[in-house]
A and B are shown apart, each in its own frame.
Chain A
Amino acid sequence: MAEETRVGTEVSLAVGEIVRMVNTDVIAAYPITPQTHIVEHLAELVADGKLDADFITIESEHSALSACLGSAAVGARTFTATAGQGLELMHEVLFVASAMRLPIVMAVANRALSSPLNVWGDHSDVMAARDAGWIQIFTENGQEVVDTMLCAFRMAEDRRVLLPVMVNIDGFHLSHMIEPMFLPSQKEVDAFVPPNHYPFPLDPNKPVAMGDFAPPIIYTEAKWSQEINIEHSAPVIREIWGEFATQFGRTYRPVESYRAEGAKTLLLTMGSFSETAMTAVDKMRAAGIDIGLIRIRLWRPFPFAEFREAAKGADTLIVLDRAISFGVGGPVAAEARSALYPMEKRPRVVSFVGGLGGRDITVAGFEEIVKRGKEIAAHGSPREFEIFGVRE
């Protein structure tokens, strides 16, 4: 678009710029690698008077998200960011934020979990939080992070949604990249993200009680309404992405396919590894190997229809997870299997876990995964899932 400017900057800083442009009121954040560049940049913007917000230098992540509850409940536009252990310390609060319908936007610079201590990227943190009732979106590159951040405020605060939104950004591999990105102009942001009008704020002029005690006679209904609510957010999410495409010319969908048409073998990834996977797909296609790629962008609410549509026709779906559900395998693979199961003709799911704790997977690595995946599809594996590149 004409009014956007192309800048080369670090992805974390671009996140901060979007938080500034939407005129956020409150940021409550606790420093944790690799999220720090996001909050440091925001603190700087506040200190320099470029963003008129209260930046709460809070004493823990549990309190960070708790402060966000209070801030969102009085109707303030609220942002926080975390990673890894921080997300786990927030765990209890995550469920409250979604059940109380508080539109908080949180960037997660995805990181591995202790022990042993590891500050690098994988999806262990977010996979442990997948059932918390948040809208969860995975991003692939800097531009997508910028665009998703902008859409996240719209989605969270839409009166039909009113849910917290988690924007997943692979720690270091994406959060610390310096990339060229189109940043919207202030005018475009103002046009796209209207002011936050939380419909039921804590206000003495119109008192409400939030977070009451629910005995068995009403708890099930409360949870059912929460489920209905997140299901109903899906069309709104699509609608907002549609509007974004009209205004900015970049299209986002819950599930993306890359050279998947007619492919009998598909690779499934989430997050920043998809870029490498695309290069690998190009290379393999050029070598005559039958392969395509699908990528889940909207992880919660899970886009069943789009996912089945993207996977249909394939014989094999090779899923690469960047987290282990211990005793089970890859969490994405497990969900993919369950989503595909009702289909009459469905691809066989082959599960790999890899890229843990920041270990890179190169183009050659993906070629190897596809090669081994095809072998497993044809001959089976002694294991439910395999770990890519592990030294035994």
Chain B
Amino acid sequence: MDKQSVFIPKLISRKEPFAPGHRACIGCGEALAVRQLCKELGDNVIVVNATGCMEIIASQLPNTSWTVPWMHTLFENTAAVASGASAGLRAMKRKGKGPSQYVKVVGMGGDGATSDIGFGALSGALQRGHDFLYICLDNEAYMNTGIQQSSATPFGASTTTGPAGEKSLGQVSWKKNLPAIVAAHDVPYVATACPSYFHDMLSKVRKAMAVRGPAYIQVLSVCPTGWRCATNQTIRLGRLAVESGMFPLYEVVNGEYTLSLDLPTLRPVREYLKAQGRFRHLPDHEIDYIQTRVDKEYAKLRKLSRVAKAPAAARPAVTHVPESQGEIAAGLPALQETVDGILARYRNDPALLISILQDIQAAYNYLPKESMERVGSGLNIPLSQVYSVATFFKAFSLKPRGRNLIHVCLGTACHVHGAARLRDKIQRALNIEPGGTTPDFRFTLETVNCVGACALGPVVMINGKYHGQMTAQKVDALLKSYT
């Protein structure tokens, strides 16, 4: 698992594609998950949502929390609708119609919609190999209709249709292992995730988004209402689920299992179970049974898996040509070698950190986070030190940048000659804010406070080349000359 939690806030978009104001219960792990997921999914997605909590809480007419294109039709057909949308986009693209950029279709459904009623549709869509990402928001029962048992409800949990009673323990069969069933479809990418480990969750979304084919992520979403726990326990319970081995985090990339968080010793399941009212009735010997079974399942998974080591697990196969710098950097198998080469050039000298980072940026146009981890371990300095340098200088970018870097000078001399108008014109022409990058990665726009060429003002610098006495009228032609 990535060890960057301290710096994650710097890497996460401040945009909120899943807008606040929805009707989720207090402490809803699913709404938390969707909020974070959407930050990583970005703008170029179409979300197809199954009936369930997420649809009900976030889309009540006339309001919606969805700022990306979103569609809900029925309960059991999400994967099928996603198939059709994906095929429609593909056919139209071939014929020169529809959105010009690459658009990912993302299906979202609860555990009931995914592992029960929509199971056939999901299996069909996975097998056909459509290009889509399916995210199962697993809160382990039909929460929207009032906590009824699903095939994802864990052993021993009491639900309203599988209640514990004199003669019953509640759910008496083991939770359906849906990620394994999905992996059996031979799809490029399968993962489990939990918003309690949201940096891990988001890195999985990033990998899934780079796949051109079916990808599946099952997100454990703590439901205080249905699990009968305090609403401030959402994050803690997610961690306990993972650390007890009840819900291990792993990836299956092209059939190869990798544990995202390898635990030499699991926390006792008792700690996890005792924190929830749905397991309150379980006698000790049943808890012991669960412990035995969890140990066995975890050992099985561990045997199947290799353990994730920095920088990251194997990347899913990208079967199509990557469409962005970000994808290129993320998918570059040569990253380690490149960074090691740069480090060797500077004799692994920590005093030359800035030069090292400059060289890495020259190679990738930005500083991929895996590269910084490599630099930290290569120079034997804390990762925090690498980040402090990387984030201090404006010249370094932690986000992928465009092929052409535009600097609009807003120094005094340029300012009085109308530099602000130039900046506005470029913003409008490219439809990005300063600091932003066009979706096709052609341009990144930045502003600077002086480029030391006041006599030429107003100045626009592109890829280090000065364009003096610029006017708004000349901007279009200038931009056109950079591809």
- Which residues on A are within 8 Å of B, measured CB to CB? 23, 25-26, 28, 52-54, 56-60, 62-64, 66-76, 78, 92-93, 96, 100, 195, 201-205, 207-215, 218, 222
Q: State A58–B105 Cα separation when bound (angstroms).
A: 18
Q: Say which residue of A56, A64, A69, A214 sits within 8 Å of B128 (CB atoms).
A: A56
A28 contacts B83, C-beta separation under 8 Å: yes
A59 contacts B59, C-beta separation under 8 Å: no
Find the residue from B60, B91, B103, B120 having the highest chain A CB count within 10 A: B91
Given contacts A60-B124, A66-B80, A93-B77, whether A26 and B62 have CB atoms under 8 Å apart is no
Q: State A209–B86 Cα separation when bound (angstroms).
A: 17
B69 contacts A204, C-beta separation under 8 Å: yes
Q: State A72–B71 Cα separation when bound (angstroms).
A: 12
B88 contacts A96, C-beta separation under 8 Å: no
The answer to the question of B46 belonging to the interface, with a C-beta cut-off of 8 Å to chain A, is yes
Find the residue from A28, A69, A215 having the highest chain B CB count within 10 A: A69
Q: State A58–B126 Cα separation when bound (angstroms).
A: 11
B73 contacts A63, C-beta separation under 8 Å: no
Q: How large is the interface on B (under 10, 10 to 19, 20 to 34, 35 or more residues)?
A: 35 or more
Chain B 400-428 interface mask (CB, 8 Å, partner A; 1/0):
00000000000000000000000000000
A63 contacts B120, C-beta separation under 8 Å: yes
Given contacts A56-B83, A62-B76, whether A26 and B88 have CB atoms under 8 Å apart is yes
Q: Say which residue of A62, A204, A207, A208 sits within 8 Å of B77 (CB atoms).
A: A62
Shortest Cβ distance from B43 into A: residue: A204
The 6 closest A-B pairs by CB, nearest first: A70-B84, A59-B124, A67-B84, A76-B88, A66-B77, A70-B85
B85 contacts A74, C-beta separation under 8 Å: yes
Q: Say which residue of B74, B86, B98, B99 sits within 8 Å of A93 (CB atoms).
A: B74
Q: Say which residue of B56, B80, B86, B101 sits within 8 Å of A62 (CB atoms).
A: B80
Q: Say which residue of B46, B103, B124 sits within 8 Å of A63 (CB atoms).
A: B124
List of A residues within 8 angstroms of B87 by Cβ: 26, 28, 54, 56, 67, 70-71, 76
Q: State A63–B59 Cα separation when bound (angstroms).
A: 23
Shortest Cβ distance from B72 into A: residue: A211
Smallest CB–CB gap between B11 and chain A, Å? 22
Smallest CB–CB gap between B428 and chain A, Å? 16
B103 contacts A204, C-beta separation under 8 Å: yes
List of A residues within 8 angstroms of B56 by Cβ: 213
B73 contacts A66, C-beta separation under 8 Å: yes
- Which residues on B are within 8 Å of A, measured CB to CB? 43-46, 48, 55-56, 59-62, 64, 66-74, 76-77, 79-92, 94-95, 97-99, 101, 103, 105, 120-121, 123-124, 127-128
Smallest CB–CB gap between B45 and chain A, Å? 7
A210 contacts B99, C-beta separation under 8 Å: no
- Of the A-B pairs whose beta carbons lie under 8 Å apart in the complex, a sample of 11, sorted by A's number, is A54-B91, A59-B121, A63-B83, A66-B74, A66-B77, A71-B88, A76-B88, A96-B73, A100-B73, A202-B85, A205-B101
Q: State A56–B82 Cα separation when bound (angstroms).
A: 12
A57 contacts B128, C-beta separation under 8 Å: yes
A203 contacts B69, C-beta separation under 8 Å: yes
Q: State A187–B150 Cα separation when bound (angstroms).
A: 55
Q: Say which residue of A74, A195, A213 sits within 8 Å of B89 (CB atoms).
A: A74
Given contacts A209-B64, A209-B66, A213-B56, whether A70 and B123 have CB atoms under 8 Å apart is no
B92 contacts A25, C-beta separation under 8 Å: yes
Q: State A17–B276 Cα separation when bound (angstroms).
A: 61
Q: Say which residue of B76, B86, B124, B127 sits within 8 Å of A70 (CB atoms).
A: B86
A59 contacts B44, C-beta separation under 8 Å: no
Report whether over half of chain B's contact residues are helix, strand or loop; otherwise say mixed.
mixed
Q: State A218–B60 Cα separation when bound (angstroms).
A: 10
List of B residues within 8 angstroms of A76 by Cβ: 87-89, 91-92, 98
Find the residue from A54, A67, A207 having the highest chain B CB count within 10 A: A67
Q: State A63–B123 Cα separation when bound (angstroms).
A: 11
Smallest CB–CB gap between B430 and chain A, Å? 14
A212 contacts B72, C-beta separation under 8 Å: yes
B73 contacts A211, C-beta separation under 8 Å: yes
Shortest Cβ distance from A215 into B: residue: B60
List of B residues within 8 angstroms of A210 by Cβ: 70-72
Smallest CB–CB gap between A94 and chain B, Å? 11
List of B residues within 8 angstroms of A72 by Cβ: 84, 88
List of A residues within 8 angstroms of B46 by Cβ: 74, 202, 204
Find the residue from B70, B87, B103 having the highest chain A CB count within 10 A: B87
A209 contacts B82, C-beta separation under 8 Å: no
Q: Say which residue of A70, A218, A222 sits within 8 Å of B80 (CB atoms).
A: A70
Q: State A183–B375 Cα separation when bound (angstroms).
A: 69
List of B residues within 8 angstroms of A66 by Cβ: 73-74, 77, 80-81, 84, 121
A211 contacts B91, C-beta separation under 8 Å: no
Smallest CB–CB gap between A26 and chain B, Å? 5
List of A residues within 8 angstroms of B105 by Cβ: 70
List of A residues within 8 angstroms of B60 by Cβ: 212-215
Q: Say which residue of B43, B69, B84 sits within 8 Å of A208 (CB atoms).
A: B69
A93 contacts B73, C-beta separation under 8 Å: yes
List of A residues within 8 angstroms of B99 by Cβ: 203-205
List of A residues within 8 angstroms of B88 by Cβ: 25-26, 54, 70-76, 78
Q: State A195–B105 Cα separation when bound (angstroms).
A: 24
Given contacts A25-B88, A74-B92, whether A63 and B80 have CB atoms under 8 Å apart is yes
List of B residues within 8 angstroms of A207 by Cβ: 66-70
List of B residues within 8 angstroms of A100 by Cβ: 73
Find the residue from B70, B76, B92 having the highest chain A CB count within 10 A: B92
Smallest CB–CB gap between A324 and chain B, Å? 29
List of A residues within 8 angstroms of B45 by Cβ: 204
List of B residues within 8 angstroms of A59 by Cβ: 120-121, 123-124, 127
B120 contacts A53, C-beta separation under 8 Å: no
* Given A25-B91, A213-B72: 11 more A-B contacts, CB < 8 Å: A58-B128, A62-B77, A66-B74, A69-B81, A70-B81, A71-B87, A73-B84, A195-B97, A212-B61, A213-B55, A213-B59
Shortest Cβ distance from B86 into A: residue: A70
Q: State A210–B85 Cα separation when bound (angstroms).
A: 13
Smallest CB–CB gap between B434 and chain A, Å? 21
A218 contacts B84, C-beta separation under 8 Å: no
Smallest CB–CB gap between A363 and chain B, Å? 45
Q: State A74–B95 Cα separation when bound (angstroms).
A: 14
Q: Say which residue of A57, A60, A67 sits within 8 Å of B81 (CB atoms).
A: A67
Smallest CB–CB gap between A197 and chain B, Å? 10
Shortest Cβ distance from B46 into A: residue: A202
Shortest Cβ distance from A204 into B: residue: B44
Smallest CB–CB gap between A334 and chain B, Å? 30
B83 contacts A75, C-beta separation under 8 Å: no
Shortest Cβ distance from B130 into A: residue: A56
Q: State A205–B83 Cα separation when bound (angstroms).
A: 21
Q: State A63–B60 Cα separation when bound (angstroms).
A: 25
Shortest Cβ distance from B64 into A: residue: A209
Q: Say which residue of B83, B86, B98 sits within 8 Å of A201 (CB atoms).
A: B98
B72 contacts A70, C-beta separation under 8 Å: no
Q: Say which residue of A57, A68, A203, A218 sits within 8 Å of B61 (CB atoms).
A: A218
Shortest Cβ distance from B124 into A: residue: A59
